[in-house]
Amino acid sequence: MNTRFLGKKVIVTGSGTGIGREIALEFGRQGADVALHYAHSGAGADSAAGEIRAMGRRAEAFGADLAGLENVFQFAGRALDFLGGVDCLINNSGITMNKPLLKVTPEQYDVIYNVNVRAQFFLMQRAAAYMVEHGGGAIVNLTSVHGLAGAPEHSVYAGTKGAIIAQTRVLGIELAHKGVRVNAIAPGWVVVENHSRAVPGSTVESAMEGARDAVPLGRPGFPVEIAKLATFLCSDDAQFIVGQTIVADGGTTALMSLIRDFRSESSARFGTGYVPGV
């Protein structure tokens, strides 16, 4: 068991499934006490809390619909009371929707922004207030490659993820001198349960097959890889990283969209006649 976070107090939102659940477990593996959050079904968060307790750490799962601001404040209060404070906040909770611009309703827009942006902001406010008074801490916000590159029918979701990147940048420089570091992670294609539910017939095997030709690394990511990055960003090893969004996408956003076959040597010969040896 890694003891890098031994005795530290960590809050992880959206920790019932996928990336958030694995982040909570990874903090537990590294010695932290963890307050987990789930929005609807508590089975995943409860089982993760049980695994963390089996590691000898304290853990509890709390339910809250973060679309409601009062619920955000109530969850923050319950988590802080349980832990007795907070050293690290992982703002992972988020919801998505794909819908053409002309079909988006105001209610849909509000719900997604309330959960993805407003809840993150006010959880940061609550956690930072404690951290500033008690020697500092670290905050990691989960955004997405959708905040960096465009995908049709994702305008609402992408807008929230871009807002997270901007908030992270500003709060990083606003809070650094007060001992609170704020950074973000932008995952690319990561194999999680929600993707399998949204895409009929999707499996880990089909994801591996599809990513082989779409992702430069040749495969999708896995939640544990994002979890290890989150713990690193909260650790003392990352003390000089402030206000940054770290992209973990296997090279997806680094690839120029015009390039179709990135594994074979190109047959085109740009530079012939004026660059020696071409």
58-69 residue pLDDT tens = 999 999 999 999
Average pLDDT, the chain: 94
Q: Which stretch of DSSP H or E encloses residue 245?
A: strand 245-248
Output the pLDDT for position 196.
64
For residue range 159-172, list pLDDT tens digits in order. Answer: 999 999 999 999 99
Helix (H) or strand (E) holding 161: helix 155-175
Q: What does the pLDDT average to over 68-82? A: 98
pLDDT digit string, tens, across residues 92-118: 999 999 999 999 999 999 999 999 999
Q: What is the pTM of this model?
A: 0.93
pLDDT computed for residue 270 by the predictor: 80
Cα 278 from Cα 138, distance rounded (Å): 51
Running DSSP on this structure, what letter comes out for residue 177? G
> What is the model's pLDDT at position 207?
85
Q: What is the pLDDT of residues 175-226, one digit of tens each?
A: 999 999 999 999 999 998 776 666 777 788 888 898 998 999 999 999 999 9
Which runs of E-coded beta strand occur in the chain?
9-12, 33-38, 59-63, 88-91, 137-142, 180-187, 245-248
Going along the chain from its start, the domains and CATH numbers come out as: 9-195+222-248 (3.40.50.720)
The pLDDT assigned to 219 comes to: 94
Both tokens of residue 158? 């992408």
pLDDT band at 272 (very low <50, low <70, confident <90, very high): confident
How many Cα neighbours within 13 Å face the side chain of 86?
30
Is 1 a residue whose pLDDT tops 70?
no
